[in-house]
């Protein structure tokens, strides 16, 4: 009987926390009065341009917010507004062998994000920098691994931007 009462109490507490907007199981802390989000198309300002990167980044951001929040995606004037710019797309030698040859290269993508919460401006941030990278074997050409590397990097960047904006980590 005591075990049943304990389980019932825990279930009621979890239901109360998730229904009042204090906590959600996706880890977000979006206040109940926030209903919409505007995600601007990602702009690529990097010197080296991957032609599909900006679109992939934009769609990944929209998918993340759609899957993990109940916010409605609107074209303009959302309660939340997110603007992301790709600042750099850089490949550098990472691990040098004894023969002074690169054994590994590193692809790094850096982005800046501006987040505006119209209803709760204390949550805003401007030009916050995010960077992610993936290493790859230098025997492979960038063209051969670029798509997979970019997918992994974008996934990391989207997670970081999501957490900084609505999870506030």
CATH of the domain at 134: 3.30.160.150
Q: In this structure, is residue 157 part of a structural domain? A: yes
Mode of pairing for the β-strands spanning 36-39 and 72-73 = parallel
Q: What is the mean pLDDT of the chain?
A: 87
Q: In this structure, is residue 2 part of a structural domain? A: no
pLDDT of residue 29: 75
- E strand map for 33-124: 36-39, 43-44, 72-73, 80-96, 102-117
Q: In this structure, is residue 13 part of a structural domain? A: no
pLDDT of residue 14: 54
Q: In this structure, is residue 104 part of a structural domain? A: yes
Q: Would you call 56 exposed, middle or buried from its count of C-beta atoms within 10 A (0-12, 13-18, 19+)?
A: middle
Host H or E run for residue 62 = helix 53-68
The parent domain of residue 151 ranges over 30-167
Tokens 């709760």 locate to: 120
* CA 46/CA 87 separation, integer angstroms: 5
Please give the model's pTM, rounded to 2 decimal places: 0.81
Q: Could you tell me the pLDDT band of residue 25, with boundaries at 50, 70 and 90? A: very low
pLDDT of residue 1: 62
Q: Do 162 and 37 contact (CB within 8 A), yes or no?
A: no
pLDDT of residue 90: 95
Higher pLDDT: 78 or 139? It is 78
Q: Could you tell me the pLDDT band of residue 6, with boundaries at 50, 70 and 90? A: low
* CA 57/CA 65 separation, integer angstroms: 13
Which of 28-37, 46-55, 113-122 comes out lowest in average pLDDT? 28-37
Q: In this structure, is residue 20 part of a structural domain? A: no
Total structural domains in the chain? Answer: 1
pLDDT of residue 2: 64
* CA 99/CA 12 separation, integer angstroms: 65
Q: Could you tell me the pLDDT band of residue 102, with boundaries at 50, 70 and 90? A: confident
Q: Which tokens is 7 given?
A: 């389980």
pLDDT higher than threshold 50 for residue 23:
no
Which residues partner with 91 through β-bridges? 107
């Amino acid at each position: 009987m005591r075990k049943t009462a304990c389980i019932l109490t825990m279930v009621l507490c979890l239901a109360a926390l998730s229904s009042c907007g204090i906590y959600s199981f996706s880890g977000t802390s979006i206040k109940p009065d926030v209903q919409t989000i505007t995600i601007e198309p990602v702009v690529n300002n990097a010197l080296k341009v991957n032609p599909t990167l900006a679109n992939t980044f934009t769609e990944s951001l929209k998918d993340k917010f759609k899957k993990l929040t109940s916010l409605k995606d609107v074209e303009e004037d959302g309660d939340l507004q997110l603007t992301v710019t790709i600042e750099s797309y850089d490949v550098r030698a990472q691990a040098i062998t004894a023969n002074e040859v690169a054994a590994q290269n590193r692809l790094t993508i850096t982005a800046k994000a501006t987040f505006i919460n119209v209803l709760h401006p204390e949550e805003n941030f401007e030009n916050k920098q995010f960077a992610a990278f993936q290493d790859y074997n230098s025997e492979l050409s960038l063209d051969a691994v670029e798509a997979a590397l970019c997918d992994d990097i974008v996934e990391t960047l989207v997670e970081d931007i999501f957490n900084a904006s609505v999870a506030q980590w």
